[in-house]
Structure 1
Amino acid sequence: MDDKENIKININQNPIYDDTQNIYHHIHNIKVSVNEKSIEKQKAENNIFNINKYFAAAILSVFIYVACALTAQVQLADIITIEVPLTILLSLLLTYLMLSNHVKEGYCGYTIVAILLFFVNPSYTFIVLVTELSQAIIDCTVKIFTNKHDFSVFNEEKHNLSKSDHIINFLHRIKYHLLLSVIFFVTFTLFSYFYPSVFQSLIIPAYQGMQEGVQSGTVELATTPLFINNFSVAFRMFISGICLSIPNIYLLIYNGLLIGFTGSQLPISYFLSFTVPHGILELTAVMLAGGAGFKVTQAILNLFNGLTLRKEISFSKFMVVSLKMILDSIVIMVVVFVLLMIAAYVEANLTIPIGRTLLGI
């Protein structure tokens, strides 16, 4: 026992042992310091992201509301007094709920408040819906660029997948692009339906031109002309992805406003009877084309990202990823092509007979 104790004492007193312990503690302190710095850096980045989200939501809400108000020919002085501060306040509150992981509660709460306010003061309902729309646009945009299922130079592509897995992965890659397109189209369709007076100065010329075209025979209700007209719009939405989807967003909003305004000017039974048969396919194709345009925009922005990181990662990798994104958008456009072909045939040959049958004309 004495020998063993002497050996332990000798080892502990050995200068090499002391140096080893010092080195270990030094390395451990470095690791702790690095971890603390990385945590602090992550917190700083999260704070900057959150602040940017507050600013983005507020600015977008004000921009949409002011644009709609000016379209309705409301004086700018009247907008600034109450509506703009209220829009900013509601926007900041909703952003706070989103960042506090109360996403469902935030959206559901604002929707309920909007419905209740509609029976009291519809103009305040419009403000609530604008803030909700802005937040949804920002959330979808963020999810598009943080989607772990999408192509990325930082993610390894999975091989040996079954056909069903490939389809599921494809749907995961495009779901937020399609959701963003649906949000733009459906929201402004509802805006135009419930607030036609706001957008009538913008929509009436196109609405009257469409009516005159049908009555004069300029607008030919035949399969080929209808398909060419509709697909040309869808193709412009797809191509506009190169221009950061600005024309794409405009076409989604404008077509939504036109559909909603038309519905507000006709008896609902008449409108649905002569719209639903072909409209289900046609409007679905429009929203899909919008999603394809957003996917092209993502591919373009990915290339720009490659230019900034070309020293760290090969630019060719970014090109490959962008080409895969564009291929996804082309697949969507193939579906759009098929849907619009069927929709054009139904509109030219079946919609009027079906509508008359439903209305008993």
Structure 2
Amino acid sequence: MNKEKENNQKYSEDNRPIIFFNNNETLMKEKNENQSIKNLNNDLNNQNIIYYLATSIIALIIYSFCAWGTNIAFTEILDLELPLILLLTIVLSSCILQGYSKVSYLIYFIISCTMYFFSPSYTFFFVTALTSNIIVKYIALICNNKYDYGNENCGNSKNIVLKFMLRMKYYVILSLFIFIIFLIIGYFYAGLFQPIVLPSVQGLSEGVKQGTVKLETISLFINNFSVAMNMIFGGLYFSTMSTYLLIFNALVIGYSACATNLFYFISFTLPHGIIELFAIVLACGAGFRVTHAIFVLISGIKISKENRNDIFVEHVEICCKMLSDVLIMIVIIAILLIIAAYIEANLTIPLGKGLYEMVYLPKPI
């Protein structure tokens, strides 16, 4: 009896840890964590694939458009140039996805500038790859803008003007980048784009000489404002028309600057050109905003969700707020174009003559 009691006491004082083999809560927690990590990795892989596809498609579109405009046969670029552009684009995209975006941009920019003195065509390959990656980057910034409607920080700032600028800044930056890139391309590759640009330049020049194009404030404003409105409403066609008009205007200006004396061109363009071109850039940015609003509206269509009506109503409200920003942009663009038209009609020619004569005509002794 005492021996049995002693054995019971011995087992009761056993301090070894007790293992619960059927702890379902711990197993489920570990399983959920592993599943979350797996889902996160899958999402990252999917985003990387989408990034590669987007940059490659945009690079092909840019180069194909330029080749079509310069009357180069598609079969001539299919065997070597398009694969090379895809390779350069994918290499740059890979470096950016690995976190070396600034260094990669700088290297491609330096190579582009250096290659121009040896082979301008290869420079265009690097510029195309660089342009496609920057465009995709700013599209991503537009879609993930934390200050836009429907996001957490959309109502943090009390300044109405600042909130408006924070919502619209990436659209304007993207539009400005595209304009500057094709302005530079139009200047340095003027000979290639002459078939596209020359008829428009000659038509404008002949219209001014014949009097069909009047250098008056109202007529200039109507002409420029109609172009701006076409760019804004081009957002309804997923910004294809907006982007085309922006690129075409950039190529015309770049070609005109190359075809004439550069200082002469600047003298007769600078007084009104800065305001007018900035308004055109804003118009394309507003077109991008319209396209984004359409995608927001489409994304609100949820067929399988139980509360799909509430989700759709919420997306409609966000879409209407985004379009209200476009209306504000139209007012700003109209004001800028009125100022630019007045300067072009009344001040540009005397200011341009004075500036040009001051620099180029010999001074009396």
**TM-score higher than 0.5:** yes
Give the direction of change, closer, same or farther, for the CA distance of 1:285–1:157 in structure 2 (3 Å limit).
closer
Aligned residue for 1:198, secondary structure, equals: coil
Counterpart CA distance in 1 for 2:322 and 2:101 is 29
Offset of 1:137 from its aligned partner?
1.3
Moved more, 110-119 or 57-66: 57-66
1:188 equivalent in alignment to 2:182:
yes
Offset of 1:162 from its aligned partner?
2.9
Q: Deviations over 1:217-253 (max 9, x none)?
A: 1110011110111111111111221221111111111
Q: Deviations over 1:73-101 (max 9, x none)?
A: 22333312321121111101110111011
Residue 288 (structure 1) aligned to one of 266, 271, 282: 282
Alignment check: 8 A CA contact 2:186 2:255 kept: yes
Aligned residue for 2:215, secondary structure, equals: coil
Alignment check: 8 A CA contact 2:147 2:155 kept: no
1:339 equivalent in alignment to 2:333:
no
Offset of 1:49 from its aligned partner?
1.3
The residue type equivalent to 2:141 in the other structure is K
Counterpart CA distance in 2 for 1:58 and 1:34 is 36
TM-score (norm 1): 0.89
Counterpart CA distance in 1 for 2:326 and 2:261 is 37
Counterpart CA distance in 2 for 1:69 and 1:158 is 46
CA RMSD of aligned residues (A): 2.3
TM-score (norm 2): 0.89
Moved more, 306-315 or 126-135: 306-315
Counterpart CA distance in 2 for 1:243 and 1:311 is 31
Counterpart CA distance in 2 for 1:339 and 1:22 is 75
Give the direction of change, closer, same or farther, for the CA distance of 1:319–1:112 in structure 2 (3 Å limit).
same
Alignment match, 2:167: 173
Aligned residues: 345
Counterpart CA distance in 2 for 1:156 and 1:95 is 30
Alignment match, 1:325: 322
The residue type equivalent to 1:289 in the other structure is A
Which one has a bigger Cα radius of gyration?
A: 2
Alignment match, 1:116: 114
The residue type equivalent to 1:356 in the other structure is K
Counterpart CA distance in 2 for 1:67 and 1:97 is 26
Q: Deviations over 1:46-74 (max 9, x none)?
A: 10110121122122212221221232222
Alignment match, 1:3: none
Moved more, 277-286 or 33-42: 33-42
The residue type equivalent to 1:108 in the other structure is L
Offset of 1:291 from its aligned partner?
0.6
Query: 1:93-108 maps to which residues of 2 (within 5 A)?
Result: 93-108=91-106
Alignment match, 2:234: 240
Greater percentage in helix:
1
Structure 2 residues not aligned, in runs of 5+: 1-8
Alignment check: 8 A CA contact 2:154 2:163 kept: no
Q: Percent identity?
A: 37
Alignment match, 2:158: 162
